[in-house]
């Protein structure tokens, strides 16, 4: 084998292929290409370094806060001097008020002085407050940055050990959110301890702070105009810096998550799509309202579902379906497809031949039995006359728009749809008048299962798995974290990942494999009926996991805890069941 060598030429280096290879710029030969993909190990190392750097910054900020003393209340001497000063201030201005109307220039100067004094007072208070609160703000900012960095690092470590965590956007998003909540809780506990320590340490510097404030006030009184100008400039600069730093921080920390969960379309297109869909529904409603005046049947029977939809479900479906930014014109065919899939109108006409009794008049010849004379007479008789009779049966089925995604989308699109629904596309203000908004914006029930129940290892495993998905949205037909869940999909997933292998079962199927019990214990399943119009009115329509003390965890909307003693669940309660 002949090994290729490079030789310099006028056009550049040449390899064994004979092609010219341009030389890299001088000084860049040993640098990595900026287009090279970072390995997972490098990403984890950078994430760890970022976490450690922000932890150091947080510790420094906390030390500064611990060393700061609270402001000392003014003593009786200062209060007396202040009262005397304000009395003199009021006396002087009162005298000016008495004579200022005699001279317009004096009045204008006096008004300017009052405005300047007010600005000076407010500016001084603002400056003192900003100086006093700066250590606390620094701790809060550093703490938020550290929580994000730590959650990112722990997620990357967990994803390296469990690759399935990084397979889809929903799993990544919810796992990071769970880590952030966990670390935020730890930070709050640490903050309470720090506050107690800081309060004790702060008492040591109260006198120094008071003296500094007195000197500052004295300087302001001696140089009011200069301080006013400097203060106005400082406030302007601080405001601009605060806005700029906030925007940069938000952009760096949340751009990815916000971008992935935000509706990609413009407001006009989303509102237009909702209006177009409402127009289709209004047309259908008008057709039904005027049905008897536009048809000519003898009898009508109606079985009509309500005509309604959730606007957030509609926009989330459109955003996931079009996989990116879309316009109203692009969405028009999709809107018609969704409408046709959601509503099914059936008009069944039954033809019957019925008979009615009619009275008719005829003539007949009669003979007098005495004289033998014949004559004619009129008489009435009845006959059964057949006629056509038409009965129209009108049925409208509303399949529920939220049930469609699992039937018309693949797993990736359903995953994206569930992510939009979990965040409302970061636009909870898009449809403020919708009756559906409350179900998403009202926080779910917060509940801690008593530790005594966790002594049962089986129940502890079930609860640990179930609580991973708190806050996941309800998605009809969903059965995994990638697509989110419906009620039976959620229970099936938890059961299958807690020691059983029952497969994907519906609510009725889960009930069928359980043994009915009247003495439930944590880990049993709880079943309901009549929560929606099921084909079998006596069948099981909803299920959850009993966690003790009249509480369950279930996939409502979203996955959350619920009190079984509420009137709704009591009205629909069916049975408790124990898994085999």
Q: How many CB atoms lie within 10 A of CB 68?
A: 19
The 3-state secondary structure of 375-441, one letter per residue: EEEEEEEEEEEEEEEEEEEEEEEECCHHHCHHHHCCHHHHHHHHHHHHHHHHCCCCCCCCCCHHHHH
Residue closest to 275 by CA, chosen among 345, 331, 342: 331
pLDDT for 274: 92
pTM of the predicted protein model = 0.50
Q: How many CB atoms lie within 10 A of CB 86?
A: 10
Q: Using DSSP, how many helices (H) and how many strands (E) does the chain show?
A: 17, 14
What token pair was written down for 321? 């379906």
pLDDT for 478: 86
Show me where the domains of the chain are located.
40-259, 267-422, 443-578
How far apart CA 511 and CA 199 sit, in angstroms, is: 57
Q: Is 87 exposed, middle or buried (0-12, 13-18, 19+ CB in 10 A)?
A: exposed
How far apart CA 339 and CA 333 sit, in angstroms, is: 10
pLDDT for 235: 54
Under a CB-based contact definition with an 8 Å cutoff, are residues 303 and 394 in contact? Answer: yes
Residue closest to 343 by CA, chosen among 394, 307, 311, 290: 307
How far apart CA 545 and CA 563 sit, in angstroms, is: 12
Under a CB-based contact definition with an 8 Å cutoff, are residues 504 and 492 in contact? Answer: yes
Q: Is 466 exposed, middle or buried (0-12, 13-18, 19+ CB in 10 A)?
A: buried
pLDDT for 368: 84
pLDDT for 17: 39
Helix (H, G, I), strand (E, B) or coil at 14: strand
Residue closest to 454 by CA, chosen among 445, 466, 444, 443: 466
The contacts of residue 153 (CB under 8 Å, 6+ apart) are: 44, 47, 48, 50, 51
Per-10-residue mean pLDDT, the chain, length 580: 40 41 46 57 81 85 74 62 58 59 60 63 67 76 80 76 64 67 68 57 51 56 55 56 48 53 90 93 94 94 92 93 91 95 95 93 87 87 93 93 88 86 85 78 79 92 92 85 88 94 92 93 94 84 94 89 91 93
Helix (H) or strand (E) holding 306: none
Peptide bond into 301 cis (omega under 30): no
Edge-to-edge strands of the sheet including 299-304? Answer: 299-304, 374-398, 343-367
φ, ψ dihedrals at 24, nearest 5°: -70, 155
413 CB-side CA count, 13 A: 16
What token pair was written down for 544? 């959850």
What token pair was written down for 316? 């989330």
The Cα-based distances of 569 to 236, 459, 529, 556 in angstroms read 57, 23, 10, 12
Q: How many CB atoms lie within 10 A of CB 127?
A: 17
Question: Which overall architecture, per CATH, does domain 443-578 show?
Answer: Alpha-Beta Complex (3.90)
């Amino acid at each position: 084998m002949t090994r290729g060598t490079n030789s310099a030429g006028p056009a550049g280096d040449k390899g064994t292929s004979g092609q010219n290879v341009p030389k890299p710029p001088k000084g860049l030969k040993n640098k990595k290409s900026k287009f090279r993909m970072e390995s997972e190990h490098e990403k984890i190392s950078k994430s760890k370094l970022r976490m450690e750097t922000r932890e150091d910054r947080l510790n420094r900020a906390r030390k500064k806060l611990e060393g700061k003393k609270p402001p000392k209340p003014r003593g009786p001497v200062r209060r007396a001097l202040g009262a005397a000063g304000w009395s003199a201030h009021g006396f002087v201005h009162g005298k000016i008020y008495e004579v200022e109307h005699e001279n317009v220039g004096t009045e204008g100067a006096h008004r300017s002085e009052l405005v300047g004094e007010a600005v000076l007072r407010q500016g001084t208070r603002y400056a003192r407050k900003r100086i006093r609160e700066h250590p606390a703000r620094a701790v809060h900012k550093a703490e938020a940055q550290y929580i994000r960095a730590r959650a990112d690092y722990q997620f990357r470590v967990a994803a390296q050990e469990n690759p399935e965590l990084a397979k889809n956007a929903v799993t990544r998003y919810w796992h990071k959110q769970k880590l952030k909540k966990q670390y935020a809780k730890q930070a709050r506990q640490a903050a309470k301890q720090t506050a107690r320590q800081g309060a004790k340490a702060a008492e040591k510097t109260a006198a120094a702070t008071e003296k500094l404030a007195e000197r500052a006030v004295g300087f302001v009184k001696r140089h009011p105009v200069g301080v006013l100008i400097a203060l106005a400039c400082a406030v302007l600069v601080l405001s601009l810096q605060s806005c700029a730093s906030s925007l940069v921080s938000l952009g760096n920390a949340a751009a990815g998550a916000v971008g992935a969960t935000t509706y990609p379309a413009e407001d006009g297109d989303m509102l237009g799509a909702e209006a177009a869909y409402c127009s289709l529904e209004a047309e259908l409603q008008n057709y039904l309202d005027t049905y008897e005046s536009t048809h000519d049947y003898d009898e009508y029977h109606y079985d009509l579902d309500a005509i309604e939809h959730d606007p957030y479900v509609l926009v989330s479906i459109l955003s996931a379906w079009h996989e990116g930014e879309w316009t109203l014109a692009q969405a028009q065919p999709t809107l018609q497809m969704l409408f046709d899939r959601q509503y099914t109108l059936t008009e069944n006409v039954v033809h019957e031949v019925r008979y009615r009794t009619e009275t008719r008049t005829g003539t007949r010849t009669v003979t007098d039995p005495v004289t033998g004379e014949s004559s004619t007479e009129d008489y009435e008789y009845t006959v059964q006359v057949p006629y056509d009779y038409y009965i129209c049966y009108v049925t409208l089925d509303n399949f529920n728009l939220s049930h469609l995604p699992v039937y018309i989308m693949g797993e990736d699109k359903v995953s994206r749809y569930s992510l939009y629904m979990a965040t409302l596309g970061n636009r909870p203000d898009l449809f403020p008048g919708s009756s559906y908004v409350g179900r998403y914006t009202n926080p779910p029930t917060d509940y801690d299962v008593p530790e005594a129940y966790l002594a049962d290892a089986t129940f502890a495993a079930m609860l640990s798995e179930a609580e991973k998905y708190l806050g996941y949205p309800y998605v009809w037909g969903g059965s995994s974290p990638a697509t989110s869940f419906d009620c039976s999909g959620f229970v099936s997933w938890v059961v299958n990942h807690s020691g059983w292998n029952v497969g994907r079962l519906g609510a009725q199927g889960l009930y069928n494999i359980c043994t009915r019990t009247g003495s439930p214990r944590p880990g049993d399943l709880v079943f309901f009926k009549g929560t929606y119009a099921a084909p079998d009115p006596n069948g099981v329509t909803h299920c959850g996991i009993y966690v003790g003390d009249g509480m369950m965890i279930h996939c409502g909307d979203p996955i959350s805890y619920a009190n079984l003693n509420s009137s709704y669940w009591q009205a629909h309660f069916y049975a408790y069941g124990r898994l085999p």
